């Protein structure tokens, strides 16, 4: 199992990209409540009274509690959010994709950013005088050719 950031799950929930597929709750008043096989879109409530039928209504607190954690199954398709010892939720992506798969557009943009950064660094180094370049190499611990 691999950890996942709870703030990432929160942003996915806000964007309407999560579906609840299970939950577990226990308290001394109502006992245990366990749900498996459910499939409701996850929605973040504005407050305790903001409940909407047909959704799995969660509070922002569920993603930001101090005692919480989140992790992925080995297949990367189910995320488990532990709010605290007596409350947890299971989520899947609404489109069925895995959580760990980066968006292809993001991967391409990241590559372009690295290439642009390398070109900018090359331009800056090429614009240095020999004395500036020697100082740059010394500061960065680069050996002479």
3-state secondary structure of 8: helix
3-state secondary structure of 3: strand
The string over 21-42, giving b where at least 16 C-beta atoms fall within 10 Å of a residue's C-beta and e elsewhere, is bbbbeeeeeeeeeeeeeeebeb
Q: Express as a percent the part of the chain with pLDDT over 90.
A: 26
pLDDT of 39 over the 80 cut: yes
**For 102-118, what is the mean pLDDT?**
67
**For 19-43, what is the mean pLDDT?**
81
Say how many residues make up the chain.
145
Could you tell me the end-to-end alpha-carbon distance of the chain, in angstroms, rounded to an integer?
46
CA distances from 111 to 115, 117, 118, 119, 143 (A): 6, 10, 11, 12, 28
Contacts of 5 (CB under 8 A, 6+ apart): 70
3-state secondary structure of 108: helix
pLDDT of 80 over the 70 cut: yes
Note whether 62 and 78 are within 8 A (CB).
no
Closest of 88, 86, 84, 31 to residue 56, by C-alpha? 88
**For 69-78, what is the mean pLDDT?**
88
- Compute the radius of gyration of the chain from its Cα atoms: 23
- Token output for 104: 């292809």
pLDDT-derived band at 114, boundaries 50, 70, 90: confident
pLDDT-derived band at 118, boundaries 50, 70, 90: confident
Task: Out of 9-13, 34-38, 47-51, pick the least confident.
Answer: 34-38
């Amino acid at each position: 199992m691999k950890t996942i950031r709870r703030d990432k799950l929160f942003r996915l929930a806000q964007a309407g990209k999560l579906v609840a597929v299970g939950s577990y709750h226990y308290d001394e008043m109502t006992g245990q409540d366990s749900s498996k096989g459910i499939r409701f879109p996850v929605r973040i409530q504005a407050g305790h009274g903001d409940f909407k039928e047909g959704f799995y209504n969660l509070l922002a607190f569920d993603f930001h509690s101090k005692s919480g954690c989140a992790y992925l199954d080995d297949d990367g398709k189910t995320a488990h959010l532990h709010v605290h010892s007596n409350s947890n939720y299971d989520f899947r992506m609404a489109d069925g994709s895995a959580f760990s798969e980066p968006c292809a557009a993001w991967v391409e943009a990241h590559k372009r950013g690295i290439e642009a950064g390398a070109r900018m660094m090359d331009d800056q180094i090429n614009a240095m005088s020999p004395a500036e370049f020697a100082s740059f190499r010394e500061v960065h611990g680069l050996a002479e050719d």
